[in-house]
A and B are shown apart, each in its own frame.
Chain A
Amino acid sequence: MWVTSKIKQVLLVLKPGVVTLRYPFEPHPVPKNFRGQPVWDHHKCIGCGGCAAHCPARTILIRDLCQDLRVMMYDGSRCTYCGRCADVCPEKAITMSEQYELATNDKNDITLSMELFMLTCQRCGRCYDMEKTNMIDKMGLKGFRYDNLEMRAVIHKATEHFDGNMIEESDRYRRPLKTGE
């Protein structure tokens, strides 16, 4: 009798067919509202730095090279793909794309750097409405910022007017050593 039961089993198994995706050889579409790699539109971006102020992983770094040249760098290596940058962007310059195939052997492959020409607002220094509840962030990240792009480090210092000394200092910035390093 076991032969018939085995045949039954085989038929039962054959019924659903193959469910395995042929993924690396055939593309697999992502679900709706999927948040992949954020993409910047440098024509729309006004360089307000709102995304950098709100990024939970401090992935977006800002460095002001002079009065009207600002370099923004997105370091995808520690990005959480939370979509906060796209939410706060007042110009909708950031979109979360559907790209998720980001595996590489080099960290620099998932960075994006952007040079922006700035026309600073004469009244407030920038044109971006911060969260009014978070006064510390509001006070700390005002005006010109000098993050270290090579070390991918956020430096919590900002000046109202452009300061050459701050750039030199942040060039020499080194992250404090931890135990075990």
Chain B
Amino acid sequence: MLSKICKKAFTRSLWIYHCNSGACNGCDIEILNVLTPYYDVERFGMKLVASPRHADVMLISGAVTRPMLPLVEKAYAAIPEPKLVFGIGSCAIGGNCWFDTYHVAGGADKAVPVNFIVPGCPPRPEAIIYGVALALGLVDKKAAPVELKQVEFPVDMYLANKAWEERNVIYKVLND
């Protein structure tokens, strides 16, 4: 659904505004790495712009720190509609190790609505390209929730304990 909207909304190229909201620079370097000739993301028409007013897409890296929180919201408001937000790296998605510390909002989704997430610490440049291609509808989504269950039930502890108690009733009766 969202990819369909993207296809209709962004028929031309996406211009990217990169917002560092307190990242360690790992994700920032990987984002810049994506723009190098080796992982040339400009073949999809992407371009890094300096001002949020020129941008269609906002890349957020870093768990949003408390001083950065109003600034991130301001930058998000400055992007013209329609806009997309990418959370790059574990910090932007869930807050990483700092998910419940005092000075961190705990992820970009606490500040602005995040459309796509790219996990990794930092994500590989390929992973970022994959996320971009996913937003453009070039590739299929590979991640899916997994639920694992052990099929065999080894021993029912409750039944075993109950049988043990019932067996020991005779001793209680005898003691009384």
B174 at interface, CB cutoff 8 A: no
Within 8 A of A (CB), among B111-139: 115-121, 123-124, 126-131, 133-134, 138-139
Report how many residues on chain B are interfacial, defined by Cβ distance under 8 Å: 58
Most chain B CB within a 10 A radius of its CB, from A30, A77, A80, A103: A103
B81 at interface, CB cutoff 8 A: no
B93 at interface, CB cutoff 8 A: yes
Report how many residues on chain A are interfacial, defined by Cβ distance under 8 Å: 50
B166 at interface, CB cutoff 8 A: no
Q: Please, how many angstroms separate the alpha-carbon atoms of A57 and B90 in the complex?
A: 10
Is B134 a contact of A21 with CB atoms below 8 Å? no
Is B43 a contact of A67 with CB atoms below 8 Å? no
How many A-B pairs have beta carbons closer than 8 Å: the answer is 155
Within 8 Å CB of A80, what residues of B?
90, 96-97, 121
Q: Please, how many angstroms separate the alpha-carbon atoms of A75 and B107 in the complex?
A: 14
Is B123 a contact of A100 with CB atoms below 8 Å? yes
Q: State whether A78 and B40 are in contact (beta carbons under 8 Å apart), knowing that A119-B154, A181-B110 are contacts in the complex.
A: no
A171 at interface, CB cutoff 8 A: no
Q: Per-residue CB proximity of B23-58 to A under 8 Å, as 1/0? A: 000000000000001111001000000000000000
Is B130 a contact of A24 with CB atoms below 8 Å? yes
Is A102 a contact of B127 with CB atoms below 8 Å? yes
A108 at interface, CB cutoff 8 A: yes
Is B118 a contact of A103 with CB atoms below 8 Å? yes
Q: Per-residue CB proximity of A98-135 to B under 8 Å, as 1/0? A: 01111111011111111111010000000000000000
Q: State whether A81 and B133 are in contact (beta carbons under 8 Å apart), knowing that A102-B143, A116-B150 are contacts in the complex.
A: no
A58 at interface, CB cutoff 8 A: yes
Is B127 a contact of A78 with CB atoms below 8 Å? no
Is B150 a contact of A43 with CB atoms below 8 Å? yes
A20 at interface, CB cutoff 8 A: yes
A76 at interface, CB cutoff 8 A: yes
Q: State whether A79 and B121 are in contact (beta carbons under 8 Å apart), knowing that A103-B131, A117-B153 are contacts in the complex.
A: yes
Q: Per-residue CB proximity of A48-87 to B under 8 Å, as 1/0? A: 0000000011100000000110000001111111100000
B99 at interface, CB cutoff 8 A: yes
A23 at interface, CB cutoff 8 A: yes
Within 8 Å CB of B129, what residues of A?
23-24
4 closest A-B pairs by CB: A78-B94, A103-B131, A77-B94, A42-B148
Q: A78-B107, A99-B142, A100-B120 are in contact. List 14 more A-B contacts (CB 8 A).
A: A57-B94, A77-B94, A79-B119, A80-B97, A101-B142, A104-B117, A107-B94, A113-B147, A113-B148, A115-B147, A119-B155, A178-B102, A180-B69, A181-B110
Footprint of A on B, CB under 8 Å? 2, 37-40, 43, 66, 69-70, 90, 93-97, 99-100, 102, 105-107, 110, 115-121, 123-124, 126-131, 133-134, 138-139, 141-150, 152-158
Footprint of B on A, CB under 8 Å? 19-21, 23-25, 28, 30, 40, 42-43, 56-58, 67-68, 75-82, 99-105, 107-117, 119, 152-153, 175, 178-181
Contact sample, A vs B, 23 pairs, CB 8 Å cutoff: A20-B40, A21-B39, A23-B39, A24-B130, A57-B96, A58-B99, A67-B158, A68-B157, A78-B90, A100-B120, A101-B126, A101-B142, A102-B120, A103-B141, A104-B116, A104-B117, A105-B2, A105-B117, A107-B93, A115-B149, A117-B152, A178-B66, A180-B66
